[in-house]
Structures are given as structure tokens and as C-alpha cells.
Amino acid sequence: MIDLHVHSTFSDGTMTPEELIDEAEALSISALALTDHDSTNGVERFVAAAEGRNVQAISGVEISAEFKPGTLHMLGYFVDHTDKSLNDHLEWIRTGRETRNKEILHRLVELGFHLTWKEVASYAGEDVIGRPHFARALIEHGYVKDTQEAFDRYLARGKPGYAERRRLAPEDCIELIRQAGGLPVLAHAFTLGLKKLELRKLLNFLRDVGLEGLEVYYSEHTPEMQRTYAKLARDYGLVPTGGTDYHGAASPDLKLGSGFGNLNISHAVVDAMEARRAGLFGPKGGRL
């Protein structure tokens, strides 16, 4: 069993990189990828924590891209977390996130919610503050009962507490990941809000500009969705990947490795990813 979509305290997860490795080993997860939002700052600790353990630690990132009508997240696997260009661009995105976060707080306060920046920041870890932290503050005050309600009523795109932020184009995300020696993979395609033909058109474009994988196995995918994405991966020559999108205590019903109990992803997925990357960069990760 593997899990290739996991968040730590360096974005909007509640577990440290070390705790994630401990939990993975306890659950006999053979490979784990740290894919924090717009940050690789936890990767060094994550990889170090896996040394001498029975868990393969995969360096990763999840980059938010500019897209409408839905949201587009690009996963990068096996990236060089010290790559300057990658980290400079991620810093640019995070700086924009900070401006956006203050606008969200302003809008929520205008709606009559008694929240402070210090309080919201207290729910974040070492790095990026995101909308889930605003959701936790709303929950603690009793304004909403859970994270889903917080997003549905206030924090999702188009809701009164939502604010836009700067992002990169999807093709730029792909280029950044590839330049950092990584494998770019489109995450949870259902959040794009596209019809079948529109999704095919997008995948065709993204494949042509360097997309290498599609997230097929995911906690919120129904069996029908999984079959659909598996076929799309085959049709466009993309590596089928998967993970839980684990955030820890922020989503207590979602478990590392198994999601809502519907996942058991084979290590063969990692083997396929490594084979694809070796074809791109050579057996040692260097450029061909």
C-alpha cells in the first residue's frame, strides 16, 4: 500500500513530516509522498525521517494553478526540493496567498465573525496559512459545524468569504516541475468542473506541454470515476497515480493510506512513475 498525496504542518496538514513517516510505517505503507501546497520546505525533514525505515519517502509538491471554472492542482513527484527556480516561484505564490488570506479575514469580519489574524495563524503549522485554517477558526467559534459547511457557506469560490490569489498557468507549473527533475501529475480532475469532452481537450493540451501522470486513485473518487480516469490515463499515455489527500486531524474520517476505507494502492504505481522518470531524466535522475 502507498499514499502519494499527503500534507504536513508545512501547509495545511496537522502532522509533522516525522509524524507522517511514523504513521506510515505503523500502517505498513511502503511509499509516501509529501505534497504540501506550494511549498517544499518540509521535504528535507521528511526524507531524513525515512532514513533506515521501511517507508520510501518521495519528495513532492502540490502547486495551485490558474484555472476556471474549477480549481487545478498540479502534483510534482521526485522534485529536487533545493531547486532555486522552483522555490522562488513557490515563494511568489505563497506571498500572494498571504495577501489573499488577509482579504479573506477582512471579508469574514465584515460578515460579523469575530476572528483575528493571530487566532487563524495559530491553527497553521510552520508555513502556509490556508482556507482550512479559517474553517477551523469558524468551527471553534461555533459559526459552522464542520469544514465542509465552512467551505460550502463561506470559503469556496463564489462564496462571501472567498478571495482570489495569484497563481501560475498550468503549463508553467508543469515546466517548473520538470525543470526541477520532477514528474508532473494532474490532481483530482473532478475539481476542474469540466465535462468529458472539455476534460479530454485539456488533457491533450497538458500532455503536449509535458504532463506525465493523472491522479486515478483518490479518496473521493467513486468506482465509476476511477474507471473513467484510468481510461483517460491510458488514452493519453499518462502514468496513473493516486493518494488520499491526507491532512491529519483536519479531516478525521480520512485515514493515511486508505482514505475513507476505499483505497489500497499498489507499489507498482511507484515503479511505473520511476520508470517514466528514468525515461525522461536517465536512471540517476540526470537530464538525458
Cell of 246: 491526507
**Any residues with CB less than 8 A from the CB of 99 and at least 6 apart, and which?**
165
Residue range(s) defining the domain that contains residue 120: 91-155
Residue 95's φ and ψ, nearest 5 degrees, are -60, -40
pLDDT of residue 85: 96
- Both 137 and 270 in one domain: the answer is no
Residue type, 202: L
Q: CA–CA separation, 39 vs 97, rounded Å? A: 12
pLDDT of residue 150: 94
If one compares 281 and 138, the residue with the highest pLDDT of the two is 138
**Any residues with CB less than 8 A from the CB of 68 and at least 6 apart, and which?**
none
pLDDT in tens, 3-40: 999 999 998 899 999 999 999 999 999 999 999 999 99
The pLDDT-based confidence of 49 (bands split at 50, 70, 90) is very high
Q: Is residue 253 part of a domain?
A: yes
pLDDT of residue 205: 97
pLDDT of residue 127: 55
Q: With a cut of 60, say whether residue 155 has pLDDT above it.
A: yes
pLDDT of residue 8: 94
- Both 16 and 65 in one domain: the answer is yes
Closest Cα partner for 249 from 97, 132, 131?
132
Q: With a cut of 60, say whether residue 288 has pLDDT above it.
A: no
pLDDT of residue 283: 65
Domain boundary among 155, 190, 206: 155
Q: What is the mean pLDDT of residues 72-100?
A: 92
- Both 179 and 252 in one domain: the answer is yes
Q: Is residue 288 part of a domain?
A: no
Share of the chain above pLDDT 70, in %: 97
Q: Is residue 214 part of a domain?
A: yes
pLDDT of residue 69: 82
The CATH number for 143's domain is: 1.10.150.650
Q: CA–CA separation, 256 vs 67, rounded Å? A: 28
**Number of domains present in the structure of the chain:** 2
pLDDT in tens, 267-286: 999 999 999 999 888 766 65
The pTM for the full model equals 0.81
Q: What is the mean pLDDT of residues 53-60?
A: 97
CA 78 from centre of chain: 14
